[in-house]
Structure 1
Amino acid sequence: MAEGSYHHGNLRAALLERAEAVLTESGPAGLSLRGLARDLGVSHAAPARHFRDRQALLDALAVSGFTEFNRRLREAAEGSGGVELRLEELGRAYLGFAVERTALLHLMFAAKHEEQSSEELRQLGHQALEAASRLVAEAQRTGVVRPGDPVRLAQVAFSTVHGLALLAVGGLLDDTPLTEATALALQVLLDGLRPPG
């Protein structure tokens, strides 16, 4: 595609889209601004109009990933239906993103914890947990979830679905279909979150 065919910010979006594809195929080490320019058929200097260097590209990719991840989780947490159903949907939304966009999720969490990560990235990195902890607090008020710190309970819930996602993308579920493993994990998780007795 000719460089002139990218206009009104389309090149930035195309660079991010191609960067995620390269990330999935080759990992972060395979990403370079020059390589993306070559892949998109633009001059090697064109990406510099949008990203000052490779790190800026990686940060923008992480920001883009967190924005989509947070949107999916927020929609699940604030959706229609009872609080228990929304807790399940939240788990499914997390798993869906993690399985569909595994390489991006790894980059997002790695970037969030780097010392030079931007304030925007740090804030975006906390939004999913905040949405989950608000939903857990709502579930506590209705008696569906045990007492305790909603943030800690949300962290435990996220660790469960994140662990299942890692097993799924690592091919470690053997013959168990992901839908079956997801249903069982969410059932066990919700049973564990219920008040004792």
Structure 2
Amino acid sequence: MSSSKASANEKSPSGRPYHHGDLRRAILATALDVIAADGPSGLSLRDLARRAGVSHAAPAHHFKDRAGLLTAIAAEGFGLLATALREAADLKEAGVRYVRFAREHPAHFQVMFAPELLRTGDLELATARALAGDALREAVAAVPPRGRGTDARLAGVAAWSLAHGFATLLLSHNLDDPLGDQDPEEMFRTMAAMLFRHAE
């Protein structure tokens, strides 16, 4: 039996056959659970297949190898991030959306910024990353020069560094003491207002 026929006939842990698209999604969802719990280093295709209740060949059929799976996760993450950023009303809120994305999608966030784990030349990944970058640049460009300085590119790096650094420290629990019982998003808004005084 060919691998395509085998994957089409895979069964879920409940014993019901997966549809072709459902199997890919099931593998991705299981991979995200593993990464959230153990980090990307804890991911192996064979263990993933066991956890998802599919044959050991199923993940390879859809993603070829571990790098392909992680690349698909990163591409999905950048797509979700781009959508979140475009929904923001201004630069400050774009930063809040960035932090919220990291909190709601910690496994994606871990993989997206680890190029050594990915096929960096992958078209889907490159496209999704570009969309996210464009969304951030548009938010920065909307800020008057008096609020961000004359160098929009440098302002974009500053905005990204603030949001990404805050999100990274938050996910690694390094902000537990400084935050206390404060809402992380409100704290970020305050910090962003300190840096971009006229970002609204």
Q: TM-score under structure 1 normalisation?
A: 0.81
Where do 5+ consecutive residues of structure 2 fail to align? 1-12
Secondary structure of 2:54's partner?
coil
Aligned equivalents of 2:120, 2:77: Cα separation in 1: 18
Q: 2:155: which partner in 1?
A: 153
Same amino acid, percent of matched pairs: 39
Q: Give the letter for the 1:181 counterpart.
A: M
Return 38-47 or 169-178, whichever deviates more.
Answer: 169-178
Structure 1 stretches of 4+ moved >4 Å: 112-116
Return 88-97 or 143-152, whichever deviates more.
Answer: 143-152
Aligned equivalents of 1:175, 1:107: Cα separation in 2: 26
Q: 1:40: which partner in 2?
A: 52
Structure 1 residue 159, shift from structure 2 partner: 0.5
Contact map agreement 1:70 1:127 (CA 8 A) in 2: yes
Structure 1 residue 67, shift from structure 2 partner: 1.1
Aligned counterpart for 1:121 among listed residues 125, 128, 144: 125
Q: Give me the CA root mean square deviation.
A: 2.5
Taking a change above 3 Å as real, the CA distance of residues 172 and 106 of structure 1, as seen in their structure-2 partners, is same
Contact map agreement 1:59 1:117 (CA 8 A) in 2: no
Structure 1 residue 57, shift from structure 2 partner: 0.7
Q: Give the letter for the 2:131 counterpart.
A: Q
Taking a change above 3 Å as real, the CA distance of residues 126 and 10 of structure 1, as seen in their structure-2 partners, is same
Contact map agreement 2:149 2:155 (CA 8 A) in 1: no
Aligned equivalents of 1:122, 1:113: Cα separation in 2: 14
Secondary structure of 2:197's partner?
helix
Q: 2:9: which partner in 1?
A: none
- Residue 52 (str. 1) matches residue 64 (str. 2): yes
Count of residue pairs the alignment pairs up = 184
Aligned counterpart for 2:41 among listed residues 29, 33, 37: 29
Q: 2:74: which partner in 1?
A: 62
Where do 5+ consecutive residues of structure 1 fail to align? 80-85
Q: Give the letter for the 1:23 counterpart.
A: I
Structure 1 residue 193, shift from structure 2 partner: 6.1
Structure 1 residue 192, shift from structure 2 partner: 7.5
Structure 1 residue 72, shift from structure 2 partner: 0.8
Return 25-34 or 165-174, whichever deviates more.
Answer: 165-174
